[in-house]
Amino acid sequence: MLKRTVLFILLSVGFSGMKAQQTIPFRITKHNNIIVKALVNKKDSLDLMFQIAMKEYSISPERKHKADHIIFNKEEVSDHNTVEIGKINQKNVRFFDNQLTGHEADGKIGTGIFDGKAFKIDYDNNQFVMYDKMPDLKGYQPVNIILDHDGFYLAADNIIDGDQQQEAYFVLQSGFSGTILYSNEFAEEKQLDKKLKVTGEKTLKNSEGKILITKQAILPYFKLGKSVFKDIPAGFFSGELKTQNVSYLGADMLRRFIWIFDAERKMAYIKPSKYFSEPYYKMN
């Protein structure tokens, strides 16, 4: 009888541990974007790109799959939808219409699915993991996070000229395929067009004839936590249009780590992934 009781307790603990976490499989495109398969309103099968800088869902005007069962109002908003992703079922989900997304995607999925839970972006096993309690963090290093308007901000060091470190805040941007994109303010203040080796540029004009120049350059060193990267591609803008208000830490940098975010979104924990030393993504 005692053995049966002990066995029952052990099984109960095991099953409760299983219930404490849920997984969502994903795939990674050649552009470093994470794609999740979703069934919306039990009718529309969609490929959604994970966008860490938003909470809700959205549909792209350039989608490849039909989304006929998502009904939008005049403000291009649709409420009270159901979404099935793996074994997870969500109700009263909001979608926004006509928002551009990444390659191979019909729309976007934000972080709202993880509300109230810690979650991991596991690039080694191509899955998200949601936790009711924080998992074992052995081997991870902590990074402070600031959550602002659904964006996850963190500080990193940039060595632009000589050995002087320049700290900057970056918003995690999984929809941007590259490594780093600097804000207009940072690029002008640090004179990136003069101090970095520029490897390419494009000139664009808007309908008013104002010029926007996109530049690709090489940053000598970039430090995130304890990890240091050498000769990293970095983008920035110059010209009359000042549209880039924040700096991005893009998908090419995100994939180089496994990330765990606490439920309060105050801390992230990172360790190198299998992509840590992969060649850098080349922007067109």
Whole-prediction pTM: 0.89
Contact criterion met (CB below 8 Å) for 84 and 36: no
Rounded Cα distance between 64 and 57, Å, is 17
Q: Which two tokens stand for residue 272?
A: 């190198």
Residues of the chain with pLDDT under 50: 2-3, 5-19
Rounded Cα distance between 57 and 70, Å, is 11
Rounded Cα distance between 99 and 199, Å, is 31
- Whether the domain at 19-63+77-131 and the domain at 141-257+265-270 fall into the same CATH topology: yes
Contact criterion met (CB below 8 Å) for 40 and 47: no
Rounded Cα distance between 156 and 249, Å, is 10
What sign has the CA pseudo-torsion 22, 48, 100, 155?
positive
Rounded Cα distance between 77 and 70, Å, is 9
Radius of gyration of the chain (CA): 21
- Domain extents for the chain? 19-63+77-131, 141-257+265-270
pLDDT at 265 (0 to 100): 96
- The predicted-structure confidence for 78-104, as pLDDT tens digits, reads as follows 999 999 998 899 999 999 999 999 999
* Homologous superfamily of 141-257+265-270: Acid Proteases (2.40.70.10)
pLDDT at 242 (0 to 100): 74
Q: Which two tokens stand for residue 131?
A: 């936790």
Helices (H) and strands (E) in the chain, counts: 4, 21
Right CATH number for 19-63+77-131 from 2.40.70.10, 3.40.140.10, 3.40.50.720, 3.40.50.10490?
Answer: 2.40.70.10
Instruction: Kindly give the pairing relationship between strand 180-181 and strand 227-239.
Output: parallel
DSSP 24: E
Q: Which two tokens stand for residue 162?
A: 């000589």
